[in-house]
Structure 1
Amino acid sequence: MELEYIEFEGCHFGVLDILPKSLAQQVITQDLATELAQAYATHFGKAASELGKKATKISDITTLPPMLARENRLLILDDYCWRTDSGGVLYNLGCVFCDLAECREWDEDKTYAFLKVLYPKKVRANPSAWQDYAKKLVEKTQALAKG
C-alpha cells in the first residue's frame, strides 16, 4: 500500500488509492496509518523522526464523523492526527494525508479545485456532491486547527 505524492498550490499531499478493486474490504489499522504518515513526512521532509508514534483519532478531538465510513465492507481509514516534537500536526482525512500548517487556511473553493485535480472524472460526474465533500473537508480541518 503506497501513497501517491502530489503538490498543489504549494501544499503537499499523500493520497491513497481507494478504488474498490485495489483496496476493497480492507481495514487500515492505526499502525498502518502511522506508517503511511511517516512515509508522507519522509517524502516531503516534514520531520518524520519527530512524528509521534501514537496517532490520535480526530473523532476524539472533534464531533465530526469520519470521512470514510464502514459501509458495505469498503476500505476504512479513520481520520488521525500526529503531532511532531516541533509542534507540527500531520493528519489524514480519509485517504488524503496533509500538513495542518499548509491547509488550515483553505476554503471550500480551493478545496473543491484540489478535488477536481485529484478526481476529475468523479467531480465532473457529480459536482454538487463533491462541493459538499469539500465543505466537510474544510469543516474537519478547521475543527482540528481549533482543537
Structure 2
Amino acid sequence: MADAGQKPTAVEKFIAAANDLGFPVVVRTMDQSTHTATEAAAAVGCEVGAIVKSLLFLADGAPLLVLASGPNRVDTEILGRLLGARVAMSDARGVKAATGYSIGGVPPFGHPEPLRTVIDADLLRYEVVWAAAGSATAVFSIEPDTLIELTAGEVAPVS
C-alpha cells in the first residue's frame, strides 16, 4: 500500500474499492502486459473468451460500461437497439473521467460512481473469468455471477 501522504496506485485503489464492496479480491501482477485480451489470456493461462474487456461507451451521452468476452467485438447497433439509445465508443479522456482508470487497466467495478453496465452473455459460459485490476499488468479472477452482482450488470449479447 502507499505510504501515508502518498497517492495510492491504481491497483491499490481497486483493491480498496473491491474490499468496500465486500469482495476480497486477489490481484495477480504479471511481468508482461495484460493490456489486450490475448496477452491477458496467455499470462493467466486461460481461453481468450474468459477475459473480461471493460469498454466504455456513451449511450445517448451517458457513460455505459460494457464487459465483453475477450474475442468479441461490441456491435454498437445491436447494443443501441437493446438499450433504445444511440451508442458510441468513448475516448480515452472519457474513460479516465468516468472510471478513474486508464484504458487497458479498467476494472469492471470500483469506479468513482456506479456505471450502468452491460455484461456479455458469452462470459457466463465460464466458471471463472479474468478482468483488469487497475493497471495493464494486474488481473483478478471472479465468478460471472459475482461479476453480475457487484456491477448490477444487465446480461445481453453484445456482438
- TM-score > 0.5 by shorter chain: no
Higher relative contact order (CA 8 A, sep 6+): 2
More helix by share: 1
If the length of structure 1 is used for normalisation, what is the TM-score? 0.32
TM-score, normalisation: structure 2? 0.30
Q: Which has the higher strand share?
A: 2
